Amino acid sequence: MQHTREHRSLLAESERRLLIAIARRLPSWINSDHLTLVGLVSMPLAAVAFAQIPAAPWCAAAFVLALAANWFGDSLDGTLARVRNQQRPRYGYYVDHVIDLVGTAALFAGIGASGLMHPSLAIAVVAAYFLVAAESYLATHAAGVFRISFAGFGPTELRLVLAAGAIAVVNKPWVDIAGLQVRLFDVGGLVSIVGMIVAFAVSAIRNTRSLYVAEPLPDKRVAAVEQAA
């Protein structure tokens, strides 16, 4: 699929340089499919690790390692293909995003099962994510621009927030807000839902406007002349 990638997260440029440096040093027997497989397997492992945090706090470290493995596989597979000039645009785009959807669903299934976030909120976070993802995929097809970040946040920044939250929740699963005891991850989930809904609305309005300008309603007189001809 021919499109422009737009990545403007806080860490985007530093991450790009790091990924290129890693890709150039990987042995030749490792290819982008191997890295994609790492990205696929690591998210369910992260989900299992998070679900076990209340019973085994050390699983927070396992969760962080699984997220790091997911970053390594998910972020590096495309970079490696570009560095080696082995791009498969349609295959890469499709498989990468199918894996993202599966991985996100698996991850929040684990978070919801842990008891550290209310299951209904976990489902709502996934629903909001799928809403944003669907709009992004539609925009890529219709407008030719694939935006990877919003307001400085991209996948890497979100992984870092999740990792920090998993470490924090080991010692402080509940927080006090206005005299009420609420789960730390419930607060994070609500903030995430609001943020993703805002991102969806902003992106949908922006893309609708740009597409409307690019394809305005035809002038009635011109349309009548064309029909008569």
Helix (H) or strand (E) holding 38, with range, is helix 32-51
Q: Which residue is it, tokens 């860490």?
A: 11
Q: Taking the domains of the chain in order of start, what are their residue ranges? A: 7-218
Higher pLDDT, 142 or 4: 142
What span, in angstroms and rounded, lies between the C-alpha atoms of 77 and 222?
Answer: 50
pTM reported for the whole predicted model: 0.90
How far, in whole angstroms, is CA 178 from its chain's centroid? 32
Per-residue burial over 159-183, b if 16 or more Cβ lie within 10 Å, else e, is: bbebbebbeebeeebebeeeeeeeb
The CATH superfamily assigned to 7-218 is: CDP-alcohol phosphotransferase transmembrane (TM) domain (1.20.120.1760)
Q: What is the pLDDT of residues 87-127, one digit of tens each?
A: 998 999 999 999 999 999 999 999 999 999 999 999 999 99
Token digits of residue 129: 């994510």
Higher pLDDT, 66 or 153: 66
